[in-house]
Amino acid sequence: MNLAVSAPDRLVVRTVHIPDPGDLLARLPHPTALAWIRHGEGIVGWGEAARLDLPGGPDRFTVADRWLRELFGAASIDDPVQAPGSGPVAFGGFGFDPKSPDSVLIVPRRILGRRDGHAWLTTIGDDTDPLALLHPPTPPTRLTWSDGALTAPAWERAVAAAVDRIRHGHLGKVVLARDLHAHATRPIDARVLLQRLAARFPACYTFSCAGLVGATPELLIRRTGDELASLVLAGTTARGTGPADDTARRAALLASTKDREEHAYAAEMVRDALAPLCSELTVPDQPELLTLPNVMHLASAVSGRLDSRRSVLDVVAALHPTPAVCGTPTTTALQLIRELEGMDRGRYAGPVGWIDSRGDGEWGIALRCAQIEGTHARLFAGCGIVADSDPAAELAEAQSKFRAMQYALEG
């Protein structure tokens, strides 16, 4: 594996307690932001003290974990805070497909964090970088939109082809994604999108890493010491036009055989993947409902106790890809995705999050997101396809999932 590495021989890291900094996202001094925020808490970063670009491959998680252990193990770390996310942290995102050359880890020069009443600033290297806003954020302007790899009718035909394969017994479920392109007249500032997403979807994990910006409702894994938590989401409906419509849609989703089957696939896979890594594991027998401003999901909160020798990336490697973003059986679903989607997802639907020097971290699935490159944004949305799926209904669901990032771009 040919790695692109940028790192000093030894990181010098200093973390200090600070007064509450207020809005963490407002402190970001540059559009190339790193962020992981939920309900106003989390961490943000800027600058690059070290970076690893991975070309893909089935062992990319193991390679990344080994590189980080060596980098952090050789570092000089002064961290009296000792909170999850204090000390040196790597923000990262991994390509959905092992063949995708789009995985990256970034250790920022500055990390600002707040959690459970504590706030801190981590500096790596010299301390000459102030917190002042050097580049005020500017909203996107004059957006134009265009189709991605497939038009809406072509994507419906892909869904129909997938349903036919499923009904003939080739697989149980596959997740098919669409992309959509937006073009602005000036470079798109990630901080504007982050502020809008965090305000509208406070219960989601608002993230930014190497141009991938979004607000995911799906927590793939959280590791704090030996405690482990995961949130399985599969089965979705759009929000209604009012309270009565919401109530009807909620009842229909809970009663939907198609959506409950889709959710069961995802929950069972998470149980099977985590059981060998945990001394204790709790998976609910029945899903609950997670209600967001634009959609409702069937959700199962998983908890457990992890082998302390395992880092959060060990668990990420065991879980990815879940049936919620790929399908089942995994190998067959991945092959069908490559055949029908007509695109490389990049880091969409791959793991995104952070890991610190203790092996703690939070990683979500990169959903409700867009890849930002200059004046261009590439949006993504995906739907779980099973035997009872209707192509027109799946297209409508994908359109609902696009709306989060369309809102972030249009305001």
Cα-based torsion angle of the residue sequence 180, 185, 187, 190 in order, rounded to the nearest 10 degrees:
-50
CA geometry: angle at 92 spanning 6 and 130, to 5°? 70
The rounded distance, in Å, linking the Cα atoms of 65 and 223 is: 14
Verify cis geometry, omega within 30 degrees of 0, for the bond prior to 293: no
CB count, 10 Å around CB of 303?
A: 16
* Residue 258: active-site member: no
The answer to whether residues 283 and 271 touch, using CB atoms and an 8 Å cutoff, is yes
Output the CA torsion sign for 211, 217, 218, 224. positive
The rounded distance, in Å, linking the Cα atoms of 388 and 372 is: 35
CA geometry: angle at 96 spanning 90 and 101, to 5°? 75
* Residue 99: active-site member: no
Instruction: Calculate Rg over the CA atoms of the chain.
Output: 21
Structure token digits, residue 306: 């992890």
CA 328 vs. chain centroid, Å, equals 20
Tell me the Ramachandran region of residue 56: left when phi exceeds 0, alpha when psi lies from -120 to 50, beta otherwise. left
Structure token digits, residue 411: 């305001």
Question: Three-state SS across 236-268?
Answer: EEECCCCHHHHHHHHHHHHHCHHHHHHHHHHHH
Chain position carrying tokens 């009663």: 255
325, 314, 306, 113: which is closest to 217 by C-alpha?
A: 325
Pick the catalytic residue: 156, 218, 394, 397? 218
Q: Which helix (H) or strand (E) holds 83?
A: none
Eight-class DSSP state of 330: H
The rounded distance, in Å, linking the Cα atoms of 198 and 209 is: 15
Pick the catalytic residue: 156, 173, 362, 397? 173
Catalytic residues: 173, 218
